[in-house]
Chains A and B, each alone.
Chain A
Amino acid sequence: MVSTNYDADTATAVIPTPVKIVVAGGFGAGKTTMVGSVSEISPLSTEELMTQASDGVDDVTGVERKMTTTVALDFGRITISPHTVLYLFGTPGQDRFWYMWDELAKGAIGTVVLVDTRRLDSSFATIDFFERRKIPFIVAVNCFDGADEYEEEEIRKALAIAPHVPVIFFDARQRESSKLALIKLVRFAMSKLPKPAGLVHSGDGRG
């Protein structure tokens, strides 16, 4: 019915292509802090309103009873170029909003999974979510002041992180640190794609 294709043609010159990165992690892991440290705008918060079966994301049986609920959604924006704009979406922390994660992750470059070493167990389900959907993700351990010191191997073992998944230690409050986490994720996502034939050198040589 509604055509968005004709729009794509006319819009090429004027409308930037949006890209998304999801910032996931348990409550208090530093999602909003990270979004805020790299975003060009103060993290915005919107109320998502959903009419949704209340019985969970995996239930596809025709649940007739609708439930309308609202959930705060934090996000930030980075203008990459006149042609590209990057949005960072923090996942709603509470488990009952997991049905929203699919929309956030759809078409996204990938996910930075924030880990708070004081609450390692709260990261299991998050990692599992992106692993099962084959969405590129990296694990970023947020090093708060006085946070317990862990070795990378300990974190990998504790969270059963696959060997190919990058693990970094960073500080969500620091712009540069958060930026490096995003760069790590984009590089990881690129490594999973076939390189265009025309490109001789990859992005690895830059920076």
Chain B
Amino acid sequence: MDEDQWYDEAAGPLVRPYAITRGRIPGSDLALDLATQVMAIPSAQASVQEPFGLTPEHLAILQLCKRPFSVAELGVYVKIPIAVVKVLCGDLIERGEVIVRSPSQPEHAPDYELLQAVLDGLHKL
């Protein structure tokens, strides 16, 4: 095979960030939003001592998520695109390293009580 042509058009443009995810893009089955909160499970920290299969970016996310952070914030602090954050968080969920909480989705729009809580909070600012 010609070394310069080892990929074809169907692969799309080669973009380095996706190398971190080994070419994977976010799955549609995983409802991670920009605002989804991600937090490391404290008991999972032990297993991270032997981070088999985890990239430095996975570990950076775990390190940050000792307190909850949004997917968007993780993108900024780990300096990787949002789409990559989503894939890596998906890995960490599968491994049981993190727990997540996403915003209400359209079929369950933020309910009255939640909006009331937001309203009260804004008044207190």
Q: Which A residues fall within an 8 A CB radius of B?
A: 1-2, 4, 7-8, 10-11, 14-20, 38, 44-51, 64, 66-68, 70, 73, 75, 77-78, 80-81, 83-87, 89, 103-104, 106-109, 175, 179, 182-183, 186-187, 189-190, 193-196, 199, 203, 206-207
Complex interface: stretch among B26-34, B45-53, B56-64: B26-34
B114 to chain A, nearest CB (A): 7
B77 to chain A, nearest CB (A): 9
The 8 A CB mask of B86-125 against A (1 = contact, 0 = none) is: 0000100110000111111110011111111111111101
**Is B54 located at the chain interface by the 8 A CB criterion?**
no
Count of CB-CB pairs between chains A and B under 8 Å: 183
Query: Which residues of B14-53 are within 8 A (CB) of A?
Result: 15, 17, 25, 27, 29-31, 33-37, 39
CB-CB under 8 A from A73, the residues of chain B are 34, 72, 82
Contacts A4-B100, A7-B93, A107-B106; is A81 near B117 (CB within 8 Å)? yes
Bound-state CA distance A47–B113 (Å) is 33
Q: Flag if A46 contacts B116 (CB, 8 Å).
A: no
Q: With a 10 A CB-CB cut-off, give which of B12, B39, B90, B103 has the most chain A CB atoms.
A: B103
CB-CB under 8 A from A179, the residues of chain B are 122, 125
CB-CB under 8 A from B94, the residues of chain A are 2
Q: Can you report 29 residue pairs joining A to B where beta carbons are below 8 Å apart?
A: A1-B29, A2-B27, A2-B90, A11-B101, A14-B39, A14-B68, A18-B33, A18-B36, A20-B103, A44-B76, A45-B76, A47-B75, A48-B81, A51-B83, A77-B70, A80-B118, A81-B117, A87-B34, A87-B35, A103-B34, A106-B103, A183-B122, A183-B123, A189-B115, A190-B115, A190-B119, A195-B112, A203-B120, A206-B119
Q: Flag if A44 contacts B73 (CB, 8 Å).
A: yes
Q: Flag if A75 contacts B34 (CB, 8 Å).
A: yes
Which of B93, B113, B125 makes the CB contact (< 8 A) with A196?
A: B113
- Grouping DSSP codes into helix (H, G, I), strand (E, B) and loop, the A interface class, with mixed when no group exceeds half, is mixed
**Which 4 residue pairs across A and B have the least CB separation, nearest first?**
A80-B121, A49-B81, A18-B35, A107-B103
Q: Flag if B122 contacts A182 (CB, 8 Å).
A: yes
Instruction: Closest A residue to B113 by CB, please name it.
Output: A196
Q: Flag if B34 contacts A10 (CB, 8 Å).
A: no
A68 to chain B, nearest CB (A): 5
Q: Which B residues fall within an 8 A CB radius of A?
A: 10, 12-13, 15, 17, 25, 27, 29-31, 33-37, 39, 68, 70, 72-73, 75-76, 81-84, 90, 93-94, 99-106, 109-123, 125
Q: Flag if A109 contacts B118 (CB, 8 Å).
A: yes
CB-CB under 8 A from B73, the residues of chain A are 44, 77
Q: Flag if A190 contacts B116 (CB, 8 Å).
A: yes
Bound-state CA distance A104–B31 (Å) is 13
Bound-state CA distance A26–B86 (Å) is 28
Q: Flag if B112 contacts A44 (CB, 8 Å).
A: no
B4 to chain A, nearest CB (A): 20
Bound-state CA distance A207–B119 (Å) is 10
Q: With a 10 A CB-CB cut-off, give which of A18, A86, A186, A206 has the most chain B CB atoms.
A: A18
